[in-house]
């Protein structure tokens, strides 16, 4: 966002430059990795997935994944606009978004480690429940320094469930971890985008404070839906 302040939209082109050497290094290293061999077939059969018996848990898990994505996309999308309307500069709301996304990255790693030790369901339920608190307090923080701390905490708590959701989806499709990862990530991004659209409509009618409060409620519902996460 400092680049935006200094050079305008054209300054974002400077961010693209480091991506080229990173892409070349990644392509070179990935080419040396062995091709994984599937441990089983990808038959969508009732005997393999037991869909009839698992319909409700799968639906609950899907809503959980959608709500987690909806929550994070709400913050990334609307906090910059909210702060811009309050008269803040691009560097200010850029820092705000960076803290939220940085907290999500830290929470992602910490959540995976804690889930391995204490169980995925317990960690996800507690993290999402705690994440609703800073989200509900965002409107009250306004432009104060407390906003930065709230966004950092919100990112850490809501982001800690991301790795748990992806790993759980992978284990729901034996022998198809690659396609399971693609499906769950695509589903999360698309469902989060749809939720953000409805949040935008709500923001136009009632303001951003209502959207942030709705986001806190969505996180609480997601916390209740963690009972759909299988421990084994």
pLDDT in tens, 199-225: 999 999 999 999 999 999 999 999 999
Residues 188 and 68: beta-carbon distance below 8 Å? yes
Q: Is residue 90, in this structure, part of any structural domain at all?
A: yes
Q: What is the pLDDT of residue 31?
A: 65
In a domain, 159, yes or no: yes
Query: How many angstroms separate the CA atoms of 98 and 106, rounded?
Result: 12
- DSSP summary character for residue 189: H
Q: What is the CATH number of the domain that holds 155?
A: 1.20.1250.20
pTM (2 decimals)? 0.77
Q: Is 186 helix (H, G, I), strand (E, B) or coil?
A: helix
**Comparing C-alpha atoms, which of 69, 64, 65, 85 is closest to residue 203?**
85
For residue 12, the model assigns a pLDDT of 56
pLDDT at 175: 57
pLDDT of 231: 67
**Cα–Cα distance measured from residue 67 to residue 178, given in angstroms and rounded to the nearest whole number:** 23
Q: Could you tell me if 159 and 104 are in contact, meaning their C-beta atoms sit under 8 angstroms apart?
A: yes
pLDDT digits (tens, 9 = 90+) for 74-91: 999 999 999 999 888 888
pLDDT reported for residue 45: 45
**Domain of 217, in residue numbers:** 57-228
Count of domains forming the chain: 1
In a domain, 5, yes or no: no
Please report, for residues 29, 30, 55, the alpha-carbon distance to residue 35 in angstroms, rounded to integers and kept in the order given: 13, 10, 33
Using 70 as the pLDDT threshold, list the residues of the chain that sit under it: 1-20, 22-23, 25-27, 29-54, 173-177, 231-232
H or E element that contains 131: helix 120-141
95 within a domain of the structure (yes/no): yes
Tell me if 214 is assigned to some domain.
yes
Structure tokens at 45: 């059969």
Tell me the DSSP string of 52-96: HHHHHHHHHHHHHHHHHHHHHHHHHHHHHHHHHHTT--HHHHHHH
Is-contact 100 75, C-beta < 8 A? yes
Tell whether 48 is covered by a domain.
Answer: no
């Amino acid at each position: 966002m400092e680049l935006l302040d200094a050079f305008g939209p054209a300054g974002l082109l400077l961010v693209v430059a480091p991506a080229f050497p990173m892409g070349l290094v990644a392509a070179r290293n990935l080419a040396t990795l062995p091709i994984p061999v599937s441990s089983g077939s990808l038959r969508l059969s009732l005997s393999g997935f037991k869909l009839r018996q698992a319909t409700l848990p799968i639906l609950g898990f899907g809503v959980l994944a959608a709500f987690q994505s909806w929550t994070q996309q709400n913050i990334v999308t609307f906090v910059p606009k909210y702060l811009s309307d309050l008269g803040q500069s691009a560097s200010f709301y850029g820092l705000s978004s960076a803290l939220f996304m940085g907290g999500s990255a830290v929470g992602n790693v910490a959540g995976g480690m804690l889930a391995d030790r204490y169980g995925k369901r317990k960690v996800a339920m507690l993290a999402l429940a705690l994440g609703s608190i800073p989200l509900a307090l965002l409107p009250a923080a306004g432009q104060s320094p407390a906003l930065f701390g709230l966004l950092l905490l919100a990112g850490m708590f809501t982001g800690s469930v991301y790795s748990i959701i992806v790993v759980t989806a992978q284990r729901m499709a034996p022998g198809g971890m690659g396609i399971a990862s693609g499906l769950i990530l695509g589903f999360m991004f698309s469902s989060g985008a749809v939720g953000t659209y409805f949040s935008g409509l709500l923001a136009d009618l009632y303001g951003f404070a209502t959207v942030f409060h709705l986001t806190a409620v969505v996180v609480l519902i997601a916390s209740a839906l963690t009972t759909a996460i299988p421990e084994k």
